[in-house]
């Protein structure tokens, strides 16, 4: 099972600090990095820093940033860093619309990468909360048909829903990185339920302890299915968030 940690590239120094923290987790072999337009450090630039530390790195690529009639802006940096995996997402528009936005969606960018860079392993996103099961499953199938080799889920908060999606994805045999995140405040809870339409299970607690326990449960869930997992630590060091996940900290006997 591969274990990835999603790191937010807020600044050069903050990202370096997060990479230092990952040294406490020898079971983590990969980082995946969102491309957030409000920060100066692009996802592929941050991934180059991770590669220099000996980690595998998967930058998120925003389809709406790609001019369909222009060159792919990230390829030179990806090649220089030795990056061979990328995650294609649609991408939210900039809040102030200060950057150009193109009519390129994830399916279109996946097709282009398959044509122009078949050597790259591409992943796509699966969001269990944004629409109905049938529509999201069909959307995932289109991405796989366009060239994606696997799926990164949005974070799950309920293992029962993850089990439902595991059954649904039998129709689409593919590599899956199951996701979890640390919701440890009421503000964070409101973000996920309001903006991302998450339905939290009964008994959910917005605490670090609850988030760590769920991370361990999701890791066991993914391992039992022969899948992979990624963790998104928010406002908490990854080493502390993943303290309850034996495989992530390299302690098989725990």
Q: Give me the helix-helix angle, 133-145 and 106-116, nearest 10°.
A: 20
Half-sphere exposure of 185 (CA within 13 A, CB side): 7
pLDDT at 64 over 60: yes
> How high is the pLDDT of residue 253?
35
Which CATH number fits the domain that encloses residue 142? 3.20.20.220
* Average of per-residue pLDDT across 79-102: 85
Please give the distance of CA 227 from its chain centroid, rounded to a whole number: 14
pLDDT at 53 over 80: yes
Which DSSP string do the residues of 119-178 spell out, in sequence order? TSEEEEEE-SSSS-HHHHHHHHHHHHHTT--EEEEEEPS-HHHHHHHHHHGGGS--EEEE
Q: Does residue 136 belong to any structural domain of this protein?
A: yes
**Structural domain tally of the chain?**
1
Pairing of strands 175-181, 228-232: parallel
> How high is the pLDDT of residue 67?
93
Write out the two tokens for 78. 């990806």
* Average of per-residue pLDDT across 171-200: 94
Residue 29 neighbours by CB under 8 Å, 6+ apart? 2, 3, 4, 55, 56
Q: Does residue 179 belong to any structural domain of this protein?
A: yes
Q: Does residue 147 belong to any structural domain of this protein?
A: yes
In whole angstroms, what is the distance from residue 70 CA to residue 168 CA? Answer: 37
> How high is the pLDDT of residue 106?
97
Q: Does residue 232 belong to any structural domain of this protein?
A: yes
What percentage of the chain has pLDDT greater than the value 70? 94
> How high is the pLDDT of residue 91?
85
Handedness of CA 198, 2, 172, 139 (dihedral sign): positive
Q: Does residue 77 belong to any structural domain of this protein?
A: yes
pLDDT tens for each residue of 191-238 = 999 988 999 999 999 999 999 999 999 999 999 999 999 999 998 999
> How high is the pLDDT of residue 248?
61
Range of the domain at 171: 3-241
* Average of per-residue pLDDT across 24-38: 91
Would you place residue 61 in the very low, low, confident or very high pLDDT band (cuts 50, 70, 90)? very high
Write out the two tokens for 224. 């039992």
Q: Does residue 14 belong to any structural domain of this protein?
A: yes
Q: Does residue 250 belong to any structural domain of this protein?
A: no
Q: Does residue 254 belong to any structural domain of this protein?
A: no
Q: pLDDT higher for 188 or 103?
A: 188
């Amino acid at each position: 099972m591969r274990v990835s940690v999603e790191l937010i590239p807020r600044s050069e120094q903050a990202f370096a600090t997060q990479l230092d923290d990952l040294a406490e987790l020898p079971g983590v072999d990969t980082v995946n990095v969102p491309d957030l337009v409000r920060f100066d450090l692009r996802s592929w630039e941050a991934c180059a820093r991770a590669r220099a530390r000996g980690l595998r790195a998967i930058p998120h690529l925003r389809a709406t940033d790609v001019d369909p009639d222009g060159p792919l802006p990230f390829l030179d940096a990806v090649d220089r860093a030795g990056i061979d995996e990328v995650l294609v997402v649609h991408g939210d528009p900039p809040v102030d619309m200060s950057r150009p936005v193109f009519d390129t969606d994830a399916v279109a960018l996946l097709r282009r990468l398959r044509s122009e860079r078949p050597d790259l392993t591409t992943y796509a996103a699966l969001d269990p909360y944004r629409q109905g099961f049938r529509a999201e499953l069909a959307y995932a199938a289109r991405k796989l048909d366009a060239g994606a080799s696997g799926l990164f889920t949005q974070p799950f908060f309920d293992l029962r829903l993850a089990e439902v999606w595991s059954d649904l994805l039998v129709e689409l045999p593919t590599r899956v990185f199951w996701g979890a995140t640390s919701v440890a405040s009421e503000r964070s809870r409101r973000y996920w339920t309001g903006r991302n339409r998450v339905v939290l299970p009964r008994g959910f607690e917005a605490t670090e302890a609850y988030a760590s326990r769920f991370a361990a449960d999701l890791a066991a869930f993914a391992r039992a299915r022969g899948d992979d997992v990624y963790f998104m630590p928010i406002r908490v060091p990854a080493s502390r968030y993943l303290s309850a996940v034996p495989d992530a900290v390299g302690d098989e006997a725990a």
